[in-house]
Amino acid sequence: MAMVARCRVEVSAGTVRVSTGKYRCSMGLAEWRGAVSASMRGPVALPPGRGRGRVALANGLVVRAHGSDGAREVWRASLERARPPLPPPPPRGRDRLGAMAPLLERVAEAVLNEQVAEIRALLPVYELCLPDENPEDTLAAFGGEAWRVAERFVRRNVLGDDISRHIPQDVKVAVAVRDGGRCTATLPDGSRCPARQALHYDHRFVPFRLGGPQSQWNLTLLCATHNWSKGGALMGVRR
């Protein structure tokens, strides 16, 4: 029976290495990102590697197929853990958002469906810099704040409210400690940027303009050069 596999994804010099059980394969970082994105629409077979077994990506997850398992079984296995569930909506009074509950729910669902693929595709880059960061914890934190992201998106882009960019001091400290006081951008040769001065707190997964919160999971350190060159991009992906 097909099942989501325990795997290790490593990035080195622009190459992504995937290992699960005795299976091993390598692919380019751009190819990996493309495969993760495509896997949100249907299973994508990973290249034959060392070791036995058929391995595929489905909903951004590595799935091992067994016996006569086909695409349907691989997809079904991924759906059980495809993305964090949308938590119940928070209680609302009679404010302007209270009258927009259906819109908020659609935005929250869209945020989850749209961003989880990008988060899964980009996490290996962060694992290169931050090996102690757990991807599943990051995704769980993201799912838990889906309603907050939706609220911020609607307030900023529909209602025209001013949204604060203030970052609490404890969040700043936690991000700085996690990132080791160093820019987390990846250089063309696959190494990490060495800059430790003129660092900015940047929204690494969900941009501020799309409702991205100033939470630890969504922030990272970038040097001034990499932050300015990123512009309106999501870790290099133009939106």
| pLDDT greater than 90 at residue 139 | no
Extract the tokens encoding 84. 């964090």
Q: What is the pLDDT of residue 235?
A: 42
Q: Quote the mean pLDDT of the chain.
A: 77
Domain end, chosen from 79, 110, 141, is at 79
Angle between helices 29-38 and 101-129 (to 10 degrees): 150
Q: 52 vs 190, which has greater pLDDT?
A: 190
Q: CA angle, 122 as apex, 130 and 42 as ends, to 5°? A: 140
Domain region containing 150: 97-238
Domain end, chosen from 35, 50, 79, is at 79
Q: What is the pLDDT of residue 146?
A: 79
Q: What is the pLDDT of residue 131?
A: 59
Q: 20 vs 110, which has greater pLDDT?
A: 20
Order of strands across the sheet that contains 8-12: 8-12, 15-20, 23-28
| pLDDT greater than 90 at residue 29 | no
Q: What is the pLDDT of residue 145?
A: 81
29 and 102 co-located in one domain: no
- Residue that the structure tokens 């309603």 belong to: 147
Which residues are CB-neighbours of 89 under 8 A, at least 6 positions away?
Answer: 101, 104, 105, 147
Mean pLDDT of 46-75: 80
53 and 163 co-located in one domain: no
89 found inside a domain: no
231 and 127 co-located in one domain: yes
116 and 7 co-located in one domain: no
Q: Amino acid identity of 150?
A: A
| pLDDT greater than 70 at residue 40 | yes
Domain end, chosen from 44, 79, 114, is at 79
15 and 60 co-located in one domain: yes
Identify the weakest region by mean pLDDT among 86-90, 135-139, 162-166, 197-201.
86-90
Q: What is the pLDDT of residue 228?
A: 85
Report how far residue 178's alpha carbon sits from residue 195's, in angstroms, rounded to the nearest whole number. Answer: 15
Report how far residue 147's alpha carbon sits from residue 56's, in angstroms, rounded to the nearest whole number. Answer: 31
**What whole-number percentage of the chain has pLDDT above 90?**
10
Long-range pairs, 74-79, Cβ under 8 A, ≥24: 74/2, 74/43, 75/42, 75/43, 76/2, 77/1, 77/2, 77/3, 77/4, 78/4, 78/43
Task: Kindly state the helix (H) or strand (E) to which residue 25 belongs, with its residue range.
Answer: strand 23-28
What is the tally of structural domains in the chain? 2
170 found inside a domain: yes
59 and 160 co-located in one domain: no
Q: What is the pLDDT of residue 67?
A: 77
Report how far residue 53's alpha carbon sits from residue 60's, in angstroms, rounded to the nearest whole number. Answer: 19
46 and 133 co-located in one domain: no
- The pLDDT tens digits of the residues spanning 3-19 come to 888 878 777 777 888 88
Q: What is the pLDDT of residue 236?
A: 36
Q: How many CB atoms lie within 10 A of CB 26?
A: 16
Q: In the chain, what is the greatest distance between 2 CA atoms, to the nearest angstrom?
A: 60
Mean pLDDT of 183-190: 84
For residue 219, the SS3 value is: strand
Identify the weakest region by mean pLDDT among 11-15, 38-42, 58-62, 169-173.
11-15
74 and 130 co-located in one domain: no
Residue 40 vs residues 126, 134, 231: alpha-carbon distances, Å: 21, 21, 26
192 found inside a domain: yes
Per-residue confidence at 234, pLDDT binned at 50, 70, 90? very low
71 and 21 co-located in one domain: yes
